[in-house]
Structures are given as C-alpha cells and as structure tokens.
Amino acid sequence: MSQRVTLHGRDFEVMIPADKIDEVVARVAERLNSDYASCERPPIFVCVLSGAYMFLADLVRKLTFDHEITFVQISSYEGTQSTGVVRRKLGIDFDVEGRDLIIVEDIVDTGTSIDHMVDYLQSLAPRSVEVCTLFFKPDNYRYDRPIKYCAMNIGNEFIVGYGLDYDQLGRNLKDIYVIANE
C-alpha cells in the first residue's frame, strides 16, 4: 500500500486505511439491516454520484433485505472548496410516492447538498427520507436535519479516495487520503 499519492501536483497521505473503511461500512449495514428488514416494500437507495458509488457498492453487498437502487448527480464542489451552490444534473425519473428512500452520500460537509436533496425528494411524496453517509463533518454542518446513518465523523480535512475526488482524480484509491503536511 502506498502511503502517499500525488494528484494534480498536490501530495496526499493515507488518513484512513481500507480495512477501517470496511469496518465502518459493515456497522452501517448492520443498522440498516435492523431498521429495514421487515419493510413491506423494498426501500430505494438514492446514490449521489459520483463520489458515493464505491460506498454504495460495498454497502449493498452487506445488506440482507431486498432493495432498489437509483442514482442522482449533484455538485457543489470545485477543487477543495464547496461553492455553496448545488447543481442537480440527474434526478429521479420514476414514482417514489409512499416509498422509503435512503440517500447514500460520500460525505456531508456543510449540508447544503444534502439539504437540497432531501427537499427535492420530499417533494416527490415518499413515505420517508433518510440520509446515509460514509463521512460526516459535524463542525461544518449548517443544518438541523439529522444524519441518521453515519459511518464516520471526521474533522475539516479535505479527503480523497474510495470514490471521493480532487478535481476528478483519486476516486479509484482504496484508502482515504488527506493533503500531506508539507
């Protein structure tokens, strides 16, 4: 395992190894298995592209209940900073009325994107909308909406790997990397 990578000329070092990620994903899957095992209708996982695809793939392989999956694409980042403006590129194109929806996100930072997604999905009249995120930055979060399923809290670090990118690079890394102290 390489302890450092360079992306767009910037050095990153391992912050969270792949085996730790697998542990926290398994814990979230256990909670979801407990909460949704007896659902009348299979819940729908709404994966936020592009960053959450790896998390979703590993998560659903650990689930023991029937479920459906769909994808949405939104963006509020440029480089290492949130722009504060959410752009939705893809959305839900089928009826979700009366269904349980679980938004799967890679990281909840300020909460602007997730707040936008919850409002959008609630406008489609589902039975429920919950948030499941791999990483949560509680010190940056600006909203009151609860994040029910959180795999791991982190600080204000900018991270890449395991689906998260730095200007589209680094998604393929199996570990989570942070900007190296230079």
Domain assignment present for residue 178? The answer is: no
Q: Is 93 a catalytic residue?
A: no
Report how far residue 69's alpha carbon sits from residue 141's, in angstroms, rounded to the nearest whole number.
26
Q: Is 13 among the domain residues?
A: no
Write out the chain's pLDDT in tens, 182 residues.
Answer: 458 998 898 999 999 999 999 999 999 999 999 999 998 899 999 999 888 999 999 999 999 999 999 998 876 555 545 556 666 656 677 789 999 999 999 999 999 889 988 998 999 999 999 999 999 999 999 999 999 999 999 999 999 999 998 888 999 999 999 998 76
Token duo for residue 126:
């589902």
- 3-state percent breakdown (helix, strand, coil) of the chain, nearest 5: 20, 40, 40
Rounded distance between C-alpha atoms, residue 81 and residue 111, angstroms: 13
Q: Which domain holds residue 67?
A: 19-154
Euclidean distance between CA atoms 92 and 46, whole angstroms: 9
Task: Give the number of domains in the chain.
Answer: 1
Q: Which residues pair with 164 in a beta bridge?
A: 161
Give the CATH number, domain containing residue 100.
3.40.50.2020
Selecting among 109, 139, 165, 167, the annotated active-site residue is 109
pTM exceeds 0.85 for this model? yes
